[in-house]
Structure 1
Amino acid sequence: MPTTSSRMLTLLSLLQSRRDWPGGVLAERLDVSTRTVRRDVDRLRELGYRIATVKGPDGGYRLDAGADLPPLLFDDDQAVALTVALQVATTAGAGIGDDALRALGTLRQVMPARLRHRIDALTVDAVRPPGSSDDADPAVLVAVGAAVRAREVLRFGYGADAERRRAEPHHVATWRGRWYLVAFDLDRDDWRTFRVDRIAPRTPNGPRFTPRVLPGGDVATYLTGVFRGSADGVGWPCTGEVVVGLPLAEVLPYVGDGVAVALDDGHTRLTVGSWSWAGVVAAVLRYDAEIEVVGPDALREAFARVGERCGRAGRGTPGRSIGT
């Protein structure tokens, strides 16, 4: 039979794994009597765990949240996952880098040797994208997240001039190292995306609202469309098709979210999108190979315009807007 200490750890692990546990089921899982389960529950309560007694025909127990943080119990896989998350959190753009490192040190200190070796071998170099150095204030993130959860209109100042805004907050999301609020702007009667590091919440929040249907159906699709400049929230505003005089293996490393199909050993059909036709041209010219434009005509015209500009640049002859 397991010792009292190991049995209590097993009991705690079971209570953390689901909401309610009938006392008889716990006794069966622990191979003890229901009376022993009651005594172990009382011991856990003395250690600071808020364990509620569930009334009903079977009786049972539930682990509730408490005012203080009691000792936590993680299995091996949970501990490794938490360690990776803390390392990545140092570059999350939420102003919690130092706290995440301190938490990581605390977690490592109490780990058994077998886990410490696994974690020391799993060092994650999390690098923030260039231009994403503005951290969101954790207190603002909490305030905005609370408004999202409560479905209450958020009143806030926005930007350097603290422009007064009112919006129905729907989602808090990250995109390339920055935090954004996806909300329906009540003053502009349209969806907007706000950078959280530029938000200054005003209290109290406004009235509750009924959530609207987000364009695109979900926040990932919506944000992809916003940052691509796409009206339909999915594809790029400009998409073209070309044949590049290179084998597929040389095209694939740079294709991004485009589509590349081998035509033969030396030619690849490439479909690529961008926010402008000039952007599509730039994406294709990176291959430094012969190009045949399949379509549309707008892409052919863009190649002609860009070609003229490149020719002037190569001759050292600036365009009229620059040379005058």
Structure 2
Amino acid sequence: MSQSKPRIVELLTRDGLQTMVHESGWHVPTTADKVAFIRKAAEAGVPEIEITGFVHPKAVPPLADAIDVARQVSGMKGTVIRALVPNYKGALNALEAGVPKFSCLIVGSETYQKKNSNMSIADNVREIERIAELGRREDRVVSVGMGICFACPYEGKIPLKAIMDLIDQFVAFGIDEVSIADSIGHASPIDIRERVDAILQRHPHLTLGLHLHDSSGMALANIYAGWLAGAKIFETCTGGYGGGIAMPISVNGMGNVATEDVVNLFHSMGVDTGIDLEKIRKAGRWFADLVGVPPRSRIASNGTLADLNRIGRKLLEQQS
């Protein structure tokens, strides 16, 4: 069993917002709203927050204020601040905005890669190499998020060799933190365990993370399987929003696994995350009211065991 403390990375103000491109009925949060949530998450004890993405504003309009968001949280203490940088230009913009950690993006499917970023996997690898070099020069931490690492909606199952070959290259660039994603949310715990095992056997010093979506309802089981196999980082989204922007179907119901549910999972096993569940749940309710979209988190919707016990005790007191 993995004995390390799990590190949860909050994605709401980046991945959670990007699906506004495809959905109607949302109130798009202002820069001040995003900064307020980031601060609430930090106060709840979230150890790392992906605050925004330095993407083209026409591609993802809800992230057009990336520089302003980054500058307003610059220097915030107590949590690691990072931003998505899908290419070298994005990394330069993040550098200018004072972001201390860059999260690169690539996917394991050539078809999805071209639809998502309009460049090949090989071109994207070269961009990541340049970003890694920039990080070394400018004293910035660089990690890589790999989407479509299990199955692709266009190509089917992704061969393990394709994922391993990419990770080999990133390690050669000096990158020591990689997260693999089940972007369509249909991987099984066995799939997760096998890929985590294989990666860590080849690269035992790599800090490995998981980025899971909950389309089939298996994300929590997959997190448990990944943690037992040695994964240390879990990328989550308060409220359970988000989804890939190059999917062939609606991403409604394909959201990221919810931060509240993951925190509750670990705490129910006696594993400390450093996160105050009630505080992050309140932050999620605040954000849901703000954007006008109910949270998709089970804990947000149904409460915790402690909530149920309080209600039960109150009912017994009323009946006595």
Normalized against structure 2, the TM-score is what?
0.23
Normalized against structure 1, the TM-score is what?
0.22
Higher relative contact order (CA 8 A, sep 6+): 2
**Higher share of residues assigned strand:** 1
